[in-house]
């Protein structure tokens, strides 16, 4: 058990420097790393989402912005916890989805270095527009709203041509349980002009869009 005087001293130092490492806390408290981790858990300690989670701070110190992010110099902390949960939360709660570059600006990191791991995260989905990947929430209704917000230019929501519409509807009749993503991949084996957004727009127009 660490003496109260040491705990008070550590807390005052924490408030002064705002961010510390485990080894710095070990030295202040004169205890093991496991004990430090136990105290951090008791205090609701925050762990940095960058720098390999090396740095710690406290909720009373952090001044989170509207994204739930607080940066102390180049050290970032998030209300959502680690980097993965933070990225998912930011994308899912964004009004218009986010690109990798936009995420990087919010987080203050090079997001290109880690976004590949989200290709298989079922909580998100991504689509390419004009050569840029945009990440959306995987919940269908939320994603539709995000796309509408992002693509304010209504020409992007134009209905497919009659020929394209027939191709889409025929493919759906042949495979009624097929997902929109699978349908687009199937159709685009022969043509690359049909997008997920075009299919969603067509089905919505005809009242055929299934809510998930």
Scanning 31-109, the segments in alpha helix (DSSP H) are 33-43, 83-93, 100-107
Which long-range contacts does 10-17 make (Cβ < 8 Å, 24+ apart)?
14/57, 14/58, 14/61, 15/58, 15/60, 15/61
How confident is the model over 114-166, as pLDDT tens digits?
A: 998 898 889 999 988 777 889 999 998 899 899 888 876 544 455 677 777 78
Q: Are 2 and 11 in contact (CB under 8 A)?
A: no
Residue-level pLDDT at 84: 94
Sign of CA dihedral 16, 21, 23, 26: positive
Backbone angles phi, psi at 45, to 5 degrees: -55, 145
Q: 22: helix, coil or strand?
A: helix
Residue-level pLDDT at 191: 53
Question: What is the distance between the alpha carbons of residues 51 and 47, in angstroms, rounded to a whole number?
Answer: 10
Per-residue pLDDT 10s for the chain (212 aa) are 567 777 888 888 888 999 999 999 998 888 888 988 998 999 899 999 999 999 999 999 999 999 999 999 999 999 999 999 999 999 999 999 999 999 998 999 999 889 988 988 899 999 887 778 899 999 988 998 998 888 765 444 556 777 777 888 888 888 888 888 888 888 877 655 677 777 877 777 667 776 54
Residue-level pLDDT at 159: 65
* 3-state DSSP percent of the chain in helix, strand and coil, to 5: 50, 15, 35
Strand locations in 73-168, DSSP E? Answer: 75-78, 98-99, 124-129, 132-137
Residue-level pLDDT at 130: 73
Question: What is the distance between the alpha carbons of residues 116 and 174, in angstroms, rounded to a whole number?
Answer: 33
For residue 193 the two structure tokens come to 């002009």
Residue-level pLDDT at 154: 46
For residue 191 the two structure tokens come to 């043509």
What predicted TM-score, i.e. pTM, was given to this entire model? 0.68
210, with CB counted inside 10 A (0-12, 13-18, 19+), is exposed
Sheet of 46-47: strands edge to edge?
20-21, 55-57, 46-47
Residue-level pLDDT at 155: 46
């Amino acid at each position: 058990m660490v003496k109260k005087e040491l705990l008070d001293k550590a807390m005052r130092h924490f408030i002064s420097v705002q961010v510390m490492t485990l080894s710095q806390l070990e030295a202040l408290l004169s205890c093991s790393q496991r004990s430090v981790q136990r105290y951090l858990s008791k205090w609701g300690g925050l762990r940095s989402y960058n720098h390999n989670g090396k740095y710690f701070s406290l909720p009373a110190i952090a001044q989170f912005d509207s994204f739930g992010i607080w940066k102390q110099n180049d050290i970032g902390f998030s209300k959502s916890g680690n980097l993965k949960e933070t990225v998912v939360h930011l994308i899912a709660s964004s009004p218009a989805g986010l690109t990798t570059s936009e995420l990087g600006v919010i987080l203050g990191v090079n997001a290109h270095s880690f976004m590949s791991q989200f290709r298989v995260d079922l909580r998100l989905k991504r689509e390419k527009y004009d050569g840029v990947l945009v990440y959306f929430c995987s919940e269908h209704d939320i994603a539709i709203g995000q796309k509408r917000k992002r693509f304010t230019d209504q020409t992007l929501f134009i209905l497919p041509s009659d020929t394209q519409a027939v191709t889409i509807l025929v493919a759906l009749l042949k495979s009624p349980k097929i997902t929109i993503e699978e349908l687009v991949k199937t159709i685009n084996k022969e043509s690359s002009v049909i997008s997920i957004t075009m299919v969603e727009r067509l089905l919505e127009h005809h009242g055929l869009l299934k809510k998930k």
